Structure 1
């Protein structure tokens, strides 16, 4: 998301290999929301319990502004600071940043404009969670390294939070559908989110 990051990396490290793990955008959004809650002001006590839908028109306005800012050179950090001015009692506005950053197709082109496809490996994080040995084999092969089987594969950063309502999950799944389809078409890869 950092403006000109891909261009800078290409300048300094033209042969770098890049590994990108993408999480289901609905799950990433919800996880990011609760992570923000964990590190935010203690008065930030909203949860998603009982939320069945949000105003996506508000979300799209904020998402468009975020990406416009990033394209014009505003830093990712400045965008985050700008978003902290959002009234925290409006759940739609509060989730806008999380939803915007889960629209992966919006920031992929800058990477492929700078690096050839063979230098970028894109994997769904669900593959890593569900089958770490096979996913690591893909990574080792991509990096040109010998495969090393580990004695165990543990998630060292598990977090628990309440599941969102089925209605809200469906709304977010539908919201991300066109972005996910564009991403799959762009990468020539299916994620089945």
Structure 2
């Protein structure tokens, strides 16, 4: 695996070139027959990433871990509030302003492929939960045989079973770590029933 979990090369640091990307991995990662990878969740959403990755790694096997979009959106908002990025006081208000906030960023990215939008990454609460749109972009470049999609809820409930499926998919021997603890678990105030119902209908 890469030295750090989230490399952000294909979304944020693409302009640095492939040698920079390689520097994020141990040398043995490039030995013949060696499998290596990284885990940058934002890749699934960034509109330019599928084409970029395919240009470098056309034979890559892609594993997408997706969460219930309602819970994902609420958690995303609360995390950005805690980090100091979000100053809109309520989740409901932030949802209402999301389309306007993001459209200008999409326009900038279309005009300048090197533009990196912090707003798109930070404020895409609803957009990042529209998984079908994102998967369609990936399927323009990769056959479905090279892609696996897993629900994070199932992964947390059945980690050993999901890991075995992943190992079979990428072609490595079965190995399940003894310690499968959940890291970075956060606790927020509960979402109102009205907001949850609104999101179910979204």
Q: TM-score, normalised by structure 2?
A: 0.66
**Structure 1 counterpart SS, 2:65:** strand
Comparing 100-109 with 73-82, which one deviates more in the overlay?
A: 73-82
- Aligned with 1:72 (options 72, 95, 110): 110
| Native 8 Å contact 1:63 1:100 kept in 2 | no
More helix by share: 1
**Structure 2 counterpart SS, 1:161:** coil
Q: Please give the residue correspondences for 1:9-88 in structure 2 after superposition, counting only pairs within 5 Å.
A: 9-40=53-84, 44=87, 46-48=89-91, 54=92, 58-59=96-97, 61-62=99-100, 65=103, 68-69=106-107, 72=110, 78-81=116-119
Unmatched segments (≥5 aa) in structure 2: 1-44
Cα distance between partner residues in 2 of 1:114 and 1:79: 23
| Native 8 Å contact 2:105 2:120 kept in 1 | no
**Structure 1 counterpart SS, 2:185:** coil
| Native 8 Å contact 1:59 1:99 kept in 2 | no
Distance 1:135 1:63, change over 3 A: farther
Cα distance between partner residues in 1 of 2:173 and 2:121: 44
| Native 8 Å contact 2:105 2:119 kept in 1 | no
Structure 1 residue 66: deviation in Å? 6.3
Cα distance between partner residues in 1 of 2:104 and 2:96: 13
| Native 8 Å contact 1:69 1:79 kept in 2 | no
Cα distance between partner residues in 2 of 1:123 and 1:74: 33
**Structure 1 counterpart SS, 2:103:** helix
Q: TM-score, normalised by structure 1?
A: 0.68
| Native 8 Å contact 1:2 1:70 kept in 2 | no
Unmatched segments (≥5 aa) in structure 1: 49-53, 85-95, 176-193
Give CA-to-partner distance per residue, 1:48-100, whole Å, 9 cap, x none. Answer: 5xxxxx4799457437726853872656974434798xxxxxxxxxxx63112
Comparing 105-114 with 20-29, which one deviates more in the overlay?
A: 105-114
CA RMSD of aligned residues (A): 3.2
Cα distance between partner residues in 2 of 1:45 and 1:59: 9
Give the equivalent residue in structure 2 for 1:123: 150
> Which is bigger in relative contact order (C-alpha 8 A, separation at least 6)?
1
Cα distance between partner residues in 2 of 1:63 and 1:109: 23
